[in-house]
Amino acid sequence: MNQTTRLWGGRFRKPPDPRLMKLSSAAGEHARLVPQDIAGSRAHAAELERAGLLSAAERAAIVGALDSIAADAAAGRLVPTEADEDVHTFIERVLTERAGPVGAKLRAGRSRNDQAANNLKLYLRQKARPLAGMLAELLGAIADQAEAHAATVCPGFTHLQNAQPVTFGHWLMAHGQVLLRDASRLADWEKRAGQSPLGAAAFAGSAITLQPALSAEALGYESPFENSVDAVAARDHVAEFLFVAALTLTNLSRLAEEVTLWTSRQFGWVTLDDGFATGSSIMPQKKNPDIAEISRGRAARLAGDVVTMLGALKGLPLSYNRDLAEDKRAAFDAVDVLEEVLPAFAGLIASMEVHPGPMRAQAGLGFTLATEVADHLARKGIPFAEAHEITGALVRYCEDMGRELESLDAVDLRAVDPRLDAGVLDCLTLDAAVAARSGHGGTAPSRVIEQVGRFRETLSGVSRWSREGAP
C-alpha cells in the first residue's frame, strides 16, 4: 500500500509491515458498508459546504463521484482491493481517482472513528425493519396454524411429561407470543439507536463541522450525539441488537426443538412439506427437519456473538479502541443468520401438515385428566390439599388396575373414596377439560380464537412498521 492510499502515515518513517496489514485490513469483509459510508460522506460534504471548506461546485463534484461509486459498487463493478485498508480508504481512494484533488478535501473535520460508528449504526437501523418483516411473516404463519387448530386437542407438557390436555392452537400461540415480543424489541432498539455519531470526529468533536444535527437529519436519525466521546466509544447499541437477535433465535430454537419432536414417529403430530425437509444420503426412507435443526445450531452462534461483543467492551477504556472493530463481524453474522433462518422457518410452519388424530390419542395418556378430578372436588368444597390426595389415590388405583381415568365408572370411583361422585365422570373427557380453561388467555377454543385475534392486531402494527422502510 503506498502513501496516497492510506489515511495515515505522515509521521511514520517506513511503511507498515505486511503482517500488520494482514491483521489490520478488512475492506473486503466490510464492503457491505459501502452504501452507509457513502451516505455519511454525502452528509459530511454538505457540512463542509456549510463550513465554507467546499464550494457548491466542489460539493456537487464530490457527490456526483460518490453517486457513481455507489452505483458501480451496487452493480458489482467496483470492489475493494487488497491495498485498501478499510472501507473508508476504499471510498476515498476511488473518490480522488474520479473527482480529482477535490476528493481529498472530504476528509477534513471527520475521522474514521465517527465514520465507523456511523456506518454500522446506519446499517443496523436499515436492517431492523426488514428483519421485523421477516419475523412478522413467521408470526403470521404461526397464527394461521393456531387458528386452524384452535380446537385440536393435544397433550400439554411440563418436564416433557404429559401434564394436561390443551389445544394445539394454544400451544403454538405460546411460541407466537414470545416471538412477537422479540419483534417489539427490534422497534424498541431502533428508538435507542437514534442518535447520530457523525460529527464527533476522533472523539472530541469537530472544529469544522459544527452542525451535526443537520447531518443527523439527513441520515434519518432522530437527533445528533449528546457527547462526542460516547458517540465514537459506545457500542451498547450493537450489543443490544445482538442480544435481540440472539434472544429471537433462542426463542425460535425452542419451537425448532418441538417441531423436531412433533415430526418424529414417536409423536407423529406433524408432517413437513417436501419442500422444507431433506433426506439421508444412505437411508432412503428418511425425512429430516433440517430447517429446525439448523435454526437450533444458529441460535448458539448468535449467543456467541453477544458474548464476543460484551467481551470486547468489558473493561475497555474510553474513547475509541481498535477492539471495537469486532462489532462488525458479530453484527454481520447476526443479520445474515436472521435473514436466512426467518424466511425458511416461516415456510416450514406455513406448509406443515398437522395430524389431529395422534394428538388426541396421546392427550389423555399419563393421567392428564387428574387435575379435573381435583378441581371437581375443590368446587364441591373439599380443601384442595385433600382433593389432591384423593385424586392421587385414584391415579394409584388406575395404575394398579392398568386402566386410564377415562375408563372408570361410578363403582370404581366409590371404591377409591365415597366423595368421588358420578359427577366426576362428566369432567373426565378431553373436550371438557379444555373447555373448562375458559378464563382470559386459557386454552378453551373460544379463548384461543380471541387470542389469535388480538395477536393479529398487534402483528399488523409490526408489519406496518416494517413496511415503512428504514429511517
Report the topology of domain 3-108. Answer: Fumarase C; Chain B, domain 1 (1.10.275)
Over residues 346-375, mean pLDDT: 97
Give pLDDT, residue 159: 97
Dihedral sign computed on CA atoms, order 306, 308, 310, 313? negative
Note the pLDDT of residue 25: 66
Report residue 126's pLDDT band, with 50, 70 and 90 as the boundaries.
very high
- How large a percentage of the chain has pLDDT more than 70? 96
Q: Active site residue: 280, 438, 446, 460, which one?
A: 280
**Cα–Cα nearest to 236, from 125, 121, 342, 317:** 121
Architecture of domain 113-206+226-361: Up-down Bundle (1.20)
Check pLDDT > 70 for residue 27.
Answer: no
CATH 1.10.40.30 residue spans of the chain: 364-449
Return the residue matching grid coordinates 476528509: 107
Confidence label for 13 from pLDDT (cuts 50, 70 and 90): confident
Which strand (E) or helix (H) includes residue 354?
A: strand 353-354
Q: Which residues contact 352 (CB under 8 A, 6 or more apart)?
A: 145, 259, 270, 271, 272, 273, 276
Q: How confident is the model at residue 1 (pLDDT cuts 50, 70, 90)?
A: very low
Assign a CATH topology to domain 364-449.
Answer: Ribonucleotide Reductase Protein R1; domain 1 (1.10.40)
Per residue in 241-262, pLDDT (tens digit) is: 999 999 999 999 999 999 999 9
Angstrom distance (rounded) from CA 101 to CA 47: 19
Cell numbers found for residue 214: 443537520
pLDDT band for 10, please (50, 70, 90 cuts): low
Instruction: Indicate the SS3 state at residue 238.
Output: helix
pLDDT value for 4: 46
CB-CB contact of 348 with 292 (8 Å)? yes
pLDDT at 6: 61
CATH 1.20.200.10 boundaries in the chain = 113-206+226-361
Residue 149 designated active-site: no
Q: What is the Cα–Cα distance from 6 to 352, expressed in whole angstroms?
A: 55
Matching residue, cell 439448523: 294
In this prediction, residue 28 has a pLDDT band, given cuts at 50, 70 and 90, of low
Helix (H) or strand (E) holding 126: helix 112-148
**What is the arithmetic mean of pLDDT over 198-206?**
97
Mean pLDDT of 455-463: 98
**pLDDT averaged over every residue in the chain:** 94
- Higher pLDDT pick, 69 / 280: 69
Per-residue pLDDT at 7: 64
Residue 366 has a CB neighbour count (10 Å cut-off) of 16
> For the chain, where do the domains classified as CATH 1.10.275.10 start and end?
3-108
Write out pLDDT tens, residues 73-116.
Answer: 999 999 998 888 899 999 999 999 999 999 999 999 999 999 99
- Contact at 8 Å (CB) between 87 and 122? no
Active site residue 280: yes
Answer for the pair 118, 445: CB distance below 8 angstroms, yes or no.
Answer: no
